[in-house]
Amino acid sequence: MSSRAPRKPTPVAIDAPAANDATEATTPDLGERRLYINRELSLLAFNTRVLDQALDERTPLLERLKFLLIFSRNMDEFFEIRVAGLKGQIALERELPGVDGMAPRQVLAEIGVIAHRQIERQYSILNERILPELATHGIRITRRDEWTQKQKQWVRHYFRAEVAPLVTPIGLDPTHPFPLLVNKSLNFIVQLDGVDAFGRDSGLAVVPAPRVLPRLIQMPPDVAGHGDCYVLLSSIIHAHAEELFPGMNVLGCYQFRLTRNADLALDPEDVEDLALALRGELYSRRFGDAVRLEVADNCPKNLSTYLLKQFGLAESELYEVNGPVNLARLFSIASKVNYPALQYPSFVPALPKLLKHAEDLFAVIAKRDVLLLHPYESFTPVVELLRQAAKDPQVLAIKQTLYRTGADSEIVDAMVDAARAGKEVTAVVELRARFDEESNLSLASRLQQAGAMVIYGVVGIKTHAKLMLIQRREGSELVRYAHMGTGNYHTGNARLYTDYSLLTSDEALCEDVHKLFSQLTGMGKALRMKKLLQAPFTLKKTLLELIGRETEHAAAGKPAQIIIKVNALTEPKVIRALYKASIAGVRIDLIVRGMCCLRPGVPGVSEHIRVRSVIGRFLEHSRAYWFANAGDPTLYLSSADLMERNLDRRVECAFPIEGRKLQQRIHAALQLYLEDNIGAADLQADGSYRPATCGPGEALHDAQQQLLMKLCDVHA
């Protein structure tokens, strides 16, 4: 383990903010920086809560391993994007403190303290809890000193047959400078003794692990012995490093991994062909500026210092780890299907009664709106509607936004079929969906080849709205059908993320969706919508008005309440509006999975605000805004989180849910999250989270499990 003992951050003491002067004693300054939590530190706190799930023994063992590995993936992205962005501000001397008042250098220092502690904790959980428990169930990752003679022979054969032919060891000397290494690739720094055939004796070499090889290899049953036995590629290379340097003495071989800036830098004003420019940027992403170095914790100090110097990193950016430097590669174990006792019970997503035997989805949707809550209710009706549209001779046109979908998805298959059938197919493909850019370029190319019209949205503004519009001739009329969702058109995510889908033929809503597509594909002034709220034009303005309306109700002595469920809350104007509502006495419940810059429970400011985060089997992804409105509730579902980027720099939409039955259904689900005392944690005024607890005599409430049992067929 690392010998570093990082300083624990001091909790922030929050008192009521000072008034500007005596005459304003009852009006606190809502712009005061102490009222806001730093967004990067808030995101880091969320990642820590994900790691906490690996310790929850109520969760099946392989699922606990998944949470630990998800923490790795999240931290990779955190360094690639968030830390890289802060370092970029410092390098360009553009250090702008956020609304919380923290300067980038201060935030980076705090991140370093927390990240070192949590990553060290992660490896402790893996080595002391998860791996020993897996071994008791016959699942083992064997270390080199544990290999039997038979296993050593198998590993030697595997190395010589599969690994050695692909490895390119690089000796370091004036003609072989330090190589340019790919972001997050597995590498080894090797210390050598001796003189090679050309008289070179630099003493150092780098061995990049071949990217085409799996990082985790399962031994054959006759070699493994009892249960499932795995070996790491890093262990195989380490055990046979001397074969890569014949005649030399290998004094040490130590794995390391470099994390680089992976954010894309495209200036819309300098881009003539976005797809072509993006392809170039995707290549450069692999070689961005260094932001973090991970090394094996037994790596000598002089070698880790040498590596830091090569990458231009400081000592504080070194992470010494007791195990594989890329834990996310262990997902192949966590996803195994032959250990049902160690995994969540399988389930079959439900179909609403009105859809169970419906052969014609258009006929059903023409009569009433259909609301689906994924993954508890199937995403299949959304895909099937598109399939029926592709085959239906009465359907003339299909328009759809695609953000994260996949080039080989059923959604894209249906759109390709529709285009080939001669229908007018328009796809608004957001090429800049982070880390899905390459997939989106592929699906755009596939759709174009089928004859679809592919649009890349609006220059400089991501298209994040989730919309589908189908135009169908029925008799002498053109009738529209629409799908609006809070999540992506990704069938895999629809089984892992919680999201809402609305299938509707409401004329006003469909007309609004048509107008939004017209704005995306054409040019002109913002069109007035009847029901749909859209960013960057009306969404934030209307949300502020709705919060203000509840504030007025409370001031007038009327019942007032707000429930908002989002992935993140960082927008300062929205936070200030919520503070004002709280001061007026509005009861506010915020269900915020990740970043939250609002501080609840501050005396005189946010005493009436509760913020909770729910982490469980499924990724909470749905967004809902509910306002009591003095007994006549207003409810919107949306693709938008309450962040500056979503409300000001993205194309987003929020669609109303009308009719008491559907409203009550969503409100009941929100209440389950507010009552959850299993996967929920409540945000405190100092920025920490306190797990929700079950009081004496109180029943256990798990929102996700309750929805599963209520809606799905669960197979224990």
Q: Are 376 and 712 contacting, i.e. CB atoms less than 8 angstroms apart?
A: yes
The amino acid sitting at 444 is A
Helix (H) or strand (E) holding 420: helix 410-420
Look up 464 and say whether it is catalytic.
Answer: yes
Check 464, 483, 553, 608 and give the catalytic one.
464
pLDDT of 197 reads 65
* Start-end of CATH 3.30.870.10 domains in the chain: 346-527, 534-715
Annotated binding site for ATP: 74, 497, 593, 621
User: Which position has the higher pLDDT, 225 or 371?
Assistant: 371
Instruction: Report whether pLDDT(523) > 60.
Output: yes
Query: Taking the C-alpha atoms of 213, 214, 219 and 221 in order, what is their torsion angle to the nearest 10 degrees?
Result: -110
Provide the pLDDT confidence category of residue 22 given band limits of 50, 70 and 90: very low
Which of 126-130, 438-442, 458-462, 612-616 comes out lowest in average pLDDT? 438-442
Give one word for 644, left, alpha or beta, with left for phi > 0 and alpha for psi -120 to 50.
Answer: alpha
pLDDT of 435 reads 56
Which of the 8 DSSP states describes residue 427?
Answer: E
pLDDT of 603 reads 95
Q: What is the pTM of this model?
A: 0.91
The rounded distance, in Å, linking the Cα atoms of 171 and 303 is 15
For domain 141-332, the CATH superfamily is Polyphosphate kinase middle domain (3.30.1840.10)
How far CA 164 is from CA of 249, 275, 325, in Å, comes to: 18, 38, 21
Average pLDDT taken over every residue of the chain? 89
The rounded distance, in Å, linking the Cα atoms of 509 and 376 is 25
The rounded distance, in Å, linking the Cα atoms of 266 and 278 is 8
pLDDT of 3 reads 39
Fold annotation for 346-527: Endonuclease; Chain A (3.30.870)
pLDDT of 19 reads 54
pLDDT of 284 reads 55
Fold annotation for 534-715: Endonuclease; Chain A (3.30.870)
% pLDDT > 70, the chain:
90
pLDDT of 11 reads 45
User: Which position has the higher pLDDT, 15 or 160?
Assistant: 160
Cis peptide leading into residue 536 (ω within 30°): yes
% pLDDT > 90, the chain:
72
Instruction: Report whether pLDDT(8) > 70.
Output: no
Angle, alpha carbons 224-227-230 (nearest 5°): 50
Which of 359-363, 411-415, 460-464 comes out lowest in average pLDDT? 460-464
Using the structure block, give the residue that is written with the tokens 């592919």: 454
Instruction: Report whether pLDDT(26) > 80.
Output: no
Report the side by side order of strands in the sheet with 139-141: 139-141, 228-232, 216-218
10 Å Cβ neighbour count for 75? 26
The rounded distance, in Å, linking the Cα atoms of 133 and 582 is 47
Task: Give tens-digit pLDDT for 492-511.
Answer: 889 999 999 999 999 999 99
Region 310-325: mean pLDDT is 96
Task: Give tens-digit pLDDT for 457-466.
Answer: 777 788 899 9
Instruction: For residue 588, give the 3-state DSSP assignment.
Output: strand
The rounded distance, in Å, linking the Cα atoms of 13 and 606 is 15
> Which of 427-431, 524-528, 668-672 has the largest mean confidence?
668-672
User: Residue 44 CA to chain centroid, in angstroms?
Assistant: 13
Annotated binding site: 74, 404, 434, 497, 593, 621
